[in-house]
Amino acid sequence: MGKQLPASELKRDESLRVVDNRTGKEYTVPITHNSIPANFFKGIRAAPGPNDRPEDETERGLRVADRGFLNTAVIESRITYIDGDNGILRYRGYPIEQLAERSNFLEVSYLLIYGALPSPSQLSHFTSEVLLHGPIHSDAEGFFRSFRYDAHPMSMLTSAFAYLGSYYGEANPSLQGQDLFTKAAKGDPAALQNMDRQIFRLIGKATTLAAMAYRIRQGRDFVVPPTGMSYTESFLYQLDHLSPTDHLSESHSNKPHPVLAKALDILFILHADHEMNASSTTVLQTGSSLPDPFSAVAAGCASLYGPLHGGANEAVIRMLLSIGSPKNVPAFLEAVKKRQKVLSGFGHRVYKTSDPRSFIIRKVADEVFAVTGRDPLLDTAMALHDAALKDDYFVSRKLAPNVDFWSGLIYRAMGFPMDFFPVLFVVPRVVGWVAHWRQMMLSPSGVKIWRPRQLYLGPSTRDYVPLEERTGAFQVGVGMEPSVIEHSGMTKRRKLAEAAGKVRSKL
């Protein structure tokens, strides 16, 4: 992976020397923060070679190919740092272990968004604003009741965030001017205040919308966010209270169980941000075109809905249920090795050692199980956990338990249905999304729309052939023509009626 120069010739310089073997030209690429600017390569041009196509645009400069963004830095950020090789996660420089043990979710939210731990007065102001923005317009009840009784809560929540933006025209750059938020970077106090108001709304209403998506499935009336409770207490109250009132008795008997509220608070801290993950990247990609922040968050919600992202802890529970009991673990692991089964909750795209959040969440799991009772799946989970960590096949591949392995068990013990797990991921991740969005809006260099390139491998120029002159498909292969779809019900009967009508017309 590189030829080592003799020590006598080596002189450290923060640059990369590139020789284009097509032209013999040498280029010096500057290195900043251990990165090179991809745009530099546009200046490395060559005449087309014998294997180049016009679509390769050889004379227009090199392009950098990185499928899945495995090694592409798309933004400069000061929010979250991950060292995957050493299992390190820090929010604004603070180790996640310290924050989970000593802080609370709204304090961590302040840290992620504004860059420092708040003073008592700052935290009081921020907490007050977030909780005051929890209630939602009464029309939202009709919106949620328009969904089918069996609609997935993530479908409802994704739609609800976009719907929320329809209430706040003052937050829409399409209506108020495209510099509505970006002029905050130049010190405009009104723009900064407007931006923070939307952040208060999004964080405050995230629990309200999530609770509404939950209660519509239960056939219950919606609950107004209560007063006098923490963020996670308020959320649990909205989920479970049997009365629409927010009144608390003097004994506070209506408050959620403190162990469950604290556990959820820690889980929210652990899930608040995770650098440039799929959903955060989606929020920034969407935000780069300068829509309202509610639309950007809705896009992030849709991204997190995918089973490769927010559905991982649900996949863990389904895996454990399929295993059935501890005695079936060895056979399951052998099937994993043969690629007949999928091992969920182990390994991570970023972490090459243990996920630092998994150690924290393991302790939380014990505290929750002490209150809720031991889940029968826990025995299977522990057997799988222990067996995998002792198996060289998984150890050599650095497949250690991650945060999803334990969070699904905790949510299940707390009584949440599996399809609600991604919602419990979205609520805290809203904080990370708005932190990255705010940072982008405050960029001194402004906001540029994200417009990646592609490598075009399709056909070159072709001349149009009239329909009557075409003899068949020009391309053969999987997915090269529409699939044949089976129809049933009304469509099937209509097609049968149409076919019968054609027969009668020929008689």
Active site residue ranges: 309, 348, 404
Tokens encoding 237: 């109250």
**292 exposed, middle or buried (CB, 10 Å; 0-12, 13-18, 19+)?**
buried
Terminal-residue alpha carbon distance, the chain: 77
Give the 3-state secondary structure of residue 251: coil
Helix (H, G, I), strand (E, B) or coil at 26: strand
Cα-based distances in Å from 113 to 201, 229, 289, 407, 472: 14, 22, 21, 25, 58
Q: Which distant-in-sequence residues (6+ apart) come within 8 Å of 72 by Cβ?
A: 38, 64, 66
Token representation of residue 347: 């390994």
Q: Is 289 exposed, middle or buried (0-12, 13-18, 19+ CB in 10 A)?
A: middle
**DSSP strand pairing (94-95 vs 88-91):** antiparallel
Nearest-angstrom CA–CA distance, 122 and 118: 5
In contact, 77 and 91? CB cutoff 8 Å = no
User: Any residues with CB less than 8 A from the CB of 68 and at least 6 apart, and which?
Assistant: none
| In contact, 447 and 401? CB cutoff 8 Å | no
Residue 337: what are its φ and ψ, rounded to 5°? -60, -30
DSSP state of 345: S
> What would the two tokens of residue 87 be?
């299992």
Residue type, 488: S
Residue 316 token pair:
């863990």
| Eight-class DSSP state of 41 | G
Number of H helices, E strands in the chain: 19, 5
d(CA 307, CA 419) in angstroms, rounded, equals 11
* Beta bridge partners of residue 91, listed in sequence order: 80, 94
Burial zone of 151 (CB within 10 Å; 0-12 exposed, 13-18 middle, 19+ buried): middle
- φ, ψ (nearest 5 deg) of residue 183: -70, -10
Cβ atoms of 39 and 32 within 8 Å: the answer is no
Residues 401, 346 contacting (CB under 8 angstroms): yes
Contact between 207 and 225 under an 8 Å Cβ cutoff? The reply is yes
